[in-house]
Amino acid sequence: MTDDLNKSQLKIETLLAQAGSRWDTRTGAVSMPIYQTATFGHPALGQSTGFDYTRSSNPTRSALEDLLARLENGARGFAFSSGLAAIDTLMHIFAPGDRVIVSEDIYGGTFRLFEKVLRPLGIITVPVDTSDINAVRAAIDPSVKGLFVESPTNPMLKVADLPALAALSKAQGWTFIVDNTFLTPFFQRPLDIGADVSVYSGTKYLSGHNDVLAGAIVVKDPVLAERIAFLQNAVGAVLAPQDSWLLLRGLKTLPLRLRRQEESALKISRWLMDQRWVTKVHYPGLSTHSGHARLQAQAGGFGGMISFEVCRIDMVKTALERVKVFIFAESLGGVESLITYPPVQTHADISPAERARLGITDRLLRLSIGVEDAGDLIADLEQAFNGAV
Ligand SMILES: *Cc1c(COP(=O)(O)O)cnc(C)c1O
């Protein structure tokens, strides 16, 4: 019952399967205990067990944060109460007057945080098509201090050239941040290909069961990690002990879930390509997708997210009422398959004109593929959409 495994030599599947195990050396608990306590007693004046107050640190959260750092060779990992709480805390590294270049078809809630909360405070985000490095170069300016990229993006699944953007960021002295929610460290490790920070909505694939809200940050440089540790405690949007345990529990099966989700997503996107009522399919695993080769070079998989366009807008409402296996809901990355209507749900805060420019039309639907039988999922789409044509 010792922690003498050389963890740096273990494969990611092994680290994940034993998430939180071998931590409690006193009892040997195989599952990480939930330390449901707000504060910790001190042995004496000037002494501490290493834990003082749960906002600063908590053993259940620490087990999770250590694992997150280890998964992508980071200096430190940090867990937050939601993905947006993580992103908001992270953005405190910037000061009024700083500009940050951001992917233009970013998650709707991140866009709202940047535009409606941070911009009035003087942190100016500059949206560009980050899948085009020339567009990023065109935004170079002395006041730019960071680059915040989502790849693949949501819901258009555009892929950015992360190594090239890392080189550009380094040359410019920018902090390079990657929102890695869609692929997770199992498929893509941004810090290994030159990013400074990776950030997650742990609500999605990391936890994977549509049952907890969580966020995470992993940082490469120890000095920046110290700053994030300060901000995590000072801002206070930390992940609670019970939710930290749920995330540890979900992480154990991340490779199994993702492989299955990817396999089904490929089958479903190929099937969609053959349907007469489908006009476009966006799935990076298809060899016809614009980001296919790039993702193959810089990641270990294509993920489980698909978006597609139907031929007529009136089909959307009918089909959303007819689905029986897919659940009509926002969010993604869980074991249950979800169907989402981005213009009304996830991307309602983006103006209609801007949505049209980004390709988020009123005929676009998004699928998050779960772990159900792929045949059942296809049959469900077939009955829902053929009944709506
Ligand atoms: C959901 C999501 C977020 C926000 O995370 P919450 O946990 O909902 O706060 C950020 N980025 C991406 C890519 C997301 O999908």
What's the pLDDT tens digit per position in 145-202?
A: 999 999 999 889 999 999 999 999 999 999 999 999 999 999 999 999 999 999 999 9
**Ligand 1 atom closest to residue 203's alpha carbon, by position in its atom list:** 7
Question: 227-245 burial by CB neighbour count: b if 16+ within 10 A, else e?
Answer: ebbebbeeeebbbbbebbb
pTM reported for the whole predicted model: 0.96
Q: Is the CB of 243 under 6 A from ligand 1?
A: no
201 C-alpha to ligand 1 centroid (Å): 4
Which regions of the chain does DSSP assign to beta strands (E)? 76-80, 99-103, 124-128, 144-150, 175-179, 197-201, 215-219, 278-282, 305-310, 327-328, 338-340, 364-368
246 C-alpha to ligand 1 centroid (Å): 17
User: Nearest CA to 196 among 146, 159, 133?
Assistant: 146
Indicate the top mutation candidate among 103, 130, 148, 181 to test ligand 1's pocket, ranked by most ligand atoms within 8 A of CB: 181
Please tell me which residue in 61, 145, 204, 260 is annotated as part of the active site: 204
55 is catalytic: yes
Q: How far apart are CA 67 and CA 388, in angstroms?
A: 46
* In this structure, CATH architecture of domain 7-251: 3-Layer(aba) Sandwich (3.40)
Q: How far apart are CA 332 and CA 303, in angstroms?
A: 11
83 C-alpha to ligand 1 centroid (Å): 5
The per-residue pLDDT for 347 is: 84
Domain ranges across the chain? 7-251, 254-386
18 C-alpha to ligand 1 centroid (Å): 26
Q: In what order do the strands lie in the sheet with 338-340?
A: 278-282, 305-310, 364-368, 338-340, 327-328
Q: Is the CB of 345 under 6 A from ligand 1?
A: no
179 is catalytic: yes
What residue's CA is closest to ligand 1, atom 8? 83
DSSP letters, 230-252, are HHHHHH--BPPHHHHHHHHHHHT
The topology (CATH level 3) of 254-386 is Aspartate Aminotransferase, domain 1 (3.90.1150)
270 is catalytic: no
378 C-alpha to ligand 1 centroid (Å): 27
Q: How far apart are CA 312 and CA 75, in angstroms?
A: 50
Report whether 316 contacts 343 (CB < 8 A): no
107 C-alpha to ligand 1 centroid (Å): 7
Please tell me which residue in 179, 196, 243, 380 is annotated as part of the active site: 179
Q: Is the CB of 179 under 6 A from ligand 1?
A: yes
Q: How far apart are CA 123 and CA 119, in angstroms?
A: 5
Please tell me which residue in 7, 22, 55, 227 is annotated as part of the active site: 55
DSSP letters, 176-234, are EEEE-TTTHHHH--GGGGT-SEEEEETTTTTT-SS----EEEEESSHHHHHHHHHHHHH
pLDDT digits (tens, 9 = 90+) for 252-287: 999 999 999 999 999 999 999 999 999 999 999 999
**Largest Cα–Cα separation, the chain:** 74
Q: Is the CB of 215 under 6 A from ligand 1?
A: yes
Report whether 368 contacts 305 (CB < 8 A): yes
pLDDT tens digits, the chain, 389 residues: what are they? 345 556 668 999 999 999 999 888 899 999 999 999 999 999 999 999 999 999 999 999 999 999 999 999 999 999 999 999 999 999 999 999 999 999 998 998 999 999 999 999 999 999 999 999 999 999 999 999 999 999 999 889 999 999 999 999 999 999 999 999 999 999 999 999 999 999 999 999 999 999 999 999 999 999 999 999 999 999 999 999 999 999 999 999 999 999 999 999 999 999 999 999 999 999 999 999 999 999 999 999 999 999 999 999 999 999 999 999 999 999 999 999 999 999 888 888 888 898 889 889 999 999 999 999 999 999 999 999 998 88
Indicate the top mutation candidate among 81, 82, 84 to test ligand 1's pocket, ranked by most ligand atoms within 8 A of CB: 84
The per-residue pLDDT for 1 is: 36
Strand partners, 177: 148, 197
Q: Is the CB of 201 under 6 A from ligand 1?
A: yes
243 is catalytic: no
| Residue 207 tokens, joined | 């936890």
Strand partners, 282: 307
Report whether 245 contacts 196 (CB < 8 A): no
Q: Is the CB of 154 under 6 A from ligand 1?
A: yes
Would you say the CATH fold of 254-386 matches that of 7-251?
no
Pairing state of beta strands 144-150 and 99-103? parallel
72 C-alpha to ligand 1 centroid (Å): 20
